[in-house]
């Protein structure tokens, strides 16, 4: 059972209280973009086995979207943070590095830094 703390209202919400939103920090492409960019934004996913950044909504609470850093291989939660950012905050990165020294920050939407 997954428990995430909502960074807005501070509630430690059980997953039945939350709505999942999958990969976070996607760079949006709209009209005028190339088919490749639009496909990458709509469909191509990192789907990593390990550290992952995700969108979640506190659906049965305050209703707000927030972001979470989680390990998909162990279900460990590194932390949550408000959604009004385009990259994970430094303190979250630090927490992840403390737990996963081998992890290389790979959150960029273009995949740079994943290897």
Rg of the Cα atoms in the chain: 15
23-25-26 Cα angle (round to 5): 75
Q: Which of 104, 81, 76 is nearest to 92 (CA)?
A: 81
Distance CA 81, CA 71 (A): 15
Q: Binding to another protein by residue 16, rule CB under 8 A?
A: yes
Q: Which does 61 bind (CB under 5 to 8 A by kind): another protein, Zn ion, none?
A: Zn ion
Q: Which does 62 bind (CB under 5 to 8 A by kind): another protein, Zn ion, none?
A: Zn ion
Least Å distance, CB 106 to another protein, is: 10
Distance CA 10, CA 3 (A): 12
Q: Stretches 24-32, 66-74, 80-88, 90-98: which one binds another protein (CB under 8 A)?
A: 66-74
CA within 13 Å, CB half, 63: 0
Can you say how many angstroms the Cα of residue 13 is from the centroid of all Cα atoms in its chain?
Answer: 16
Sketch the per residue contact string, 23 through 52, with another protein: x for CB under 8 A, - otherwise. x-----------xx-xxx-xxxxxxxx--x
Q: Binding to another protein by residue 75, rule CB under 8 A?
A: yes
Q: Which does 45 bind (CB under 5 to 8 A by kind): another protein, Zn ion, none?
A: another protein
Q: Which residues bind Zn ion (CB under 5 A)?
A: 6, 8-9, 58, 61-62
């Amino acid at each position: 059972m997954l428990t995430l703390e909502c960074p807005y209202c501070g509630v430690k919400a059980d997953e039945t209280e939350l709505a999942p939103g999958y990969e976070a920090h996607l760079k949006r492409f709209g009209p005028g973009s190339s088919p490749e960019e639009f496909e990458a934004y709509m469909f191509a996913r990192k789907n990593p086995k390990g550290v992952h950044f995700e969108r979640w909504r506190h659906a049965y609470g305050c209703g707000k979207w927030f972001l979470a850093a989680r390990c998909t291989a162990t279900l460990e939660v590194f932390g949550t943070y408000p959604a009004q950012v385009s990259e994970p905050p430094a303190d979250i990165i630090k927490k992840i590095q403390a737990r996963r020294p081998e992890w290389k920050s790979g959150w960029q939407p273009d995949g740079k830094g994943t290897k």
